[in-house]
Amino acid sequence: MATHVVLPTAAHTHTIIFLHGRDSTAAEFAPEFFESQASDERTLPETFPGIKWVFPSAPIIQSARFQDDMSQWFDMYRTENPHEQYPNPTNSIAVDRQLTGASAAITTIVDEEAQIIGRDHVFLGGISQGCATAVDALLRMDQRLAGFIGMCSWLPKQSGYECTSGAKQTPVLLAHCGNDEIIDIEYGKELRDELVKMGCHVKWHNYEDGGHWVNEPKGVDDIIAFIRQRLSG
């Protein structure tokens, strides 16, 4: 899997692996994400010069609904209801395989970074469909990570998950904006509630505005606070 890597500007202490959303790419998403500023007007790389950022790129998968190729972690029927499956069972089986394959690829990247810096120094996360994919990967891991950061997302499968000890031990931050026009915040709340039911430790933040993106500056402040707590923990 191709990745877009942003190296630290100071001594490397931690790595954050962050997945972009549907119909985007790692190279497009990373600079846009890094434009988001905290209350002190600093960006995430400026706040954490010792963090290495790894942005995996989703594969190009044909949308069975629109008959068009697009960058996506797995094919989905529609964003208005991310749980809605294709009417054709064959397509639904293909989607499950795509999600499983994407999770396996992300797990490989996590393992590679863990060999460099240590597993308790690796964060995982993502936005939108990237977060949903990262959640699927997290729930399969048998060892804890430094933390998980998810935004504007949903639980990719409504059944079949058995939360591992690694996921239960990994602190989770979830954030969603109330005016998200792509993924309704109710799906974010459902993700939160289901993870809590599984035994995960979830910190939840919702914001009045910000759309299908990170809220500025409060949302960035909350991400920074979460990371800082994990760096010292």
Within a 10 A sphere around the Cβ of 34, how many other Cβ atoms?
A: 14
Query: Taking CA 169 as the corner, what is the angle to CA 166 and CA 171, rounded to the nearest 5 degrees?
Result: 120
Question: What tens digit of pLDDT does each residue of 73-119 get?
Answer: 999 998 999 999 888 888 888 999 999 999 999 999 999 999 999 99
Output the DSSP codes for 53-82: EEEE-PPEEEETTTTEEEE-SS--S-SSST
pTM: 0.97
Instruction: Taking residues 130-155, report their average pLDDT.
Output: 97
Q: Is the dihedral of CA 25, 229, 113, 160 positive or negative?
A: negative
Find out whether 103 and 7 touch, Cβ atoms under 8 Å: no
Q: Is the dihedral of CA 107, 112, 113, 116 positive or negative?
A: positive
Strand partners, 18: 125
The phi and psi torsions of 124 (rounded to 5 degrees) equal -130, 150
Amino acid, res. 116: I
Name the one residue in this structure whose structure tokens are 């960035």. Answer: 220
pLDDT for 111 equals 98
For the chain, the farthest-separated pair of C-alpha atoms sits apart, in whole angstroms, at 51
Nearest to 66 by CA among 74, 56, 76, 57: 76
pLDDT for 86 equals 87
Question: What tens digit of pLDDT does each residue of 22-70 get?
Answer: 999 999 999 999 999 999 999 999 999 999 999 999 999 999 888 999 9
pLDDT for 87 equals 85
pLDDT for 233 equals 60
Options 3.10.580.10, 3.40.50.1820, 3.10.20.30, 3.90.1170.50; CATH of 3-232: 3.40.50.1820
CB under 8 Å to 123, separation ≥6 — which residues?
A: 14, 15, 16, 17, 145, 146, 147, 148, 149, 227, 230
Question: What tens digit of pLDDT does each residue of 144-197 get?
Answer: 999 999 999 999 988 888 889 999 999 999 999 999 999 999 999 999 999 999
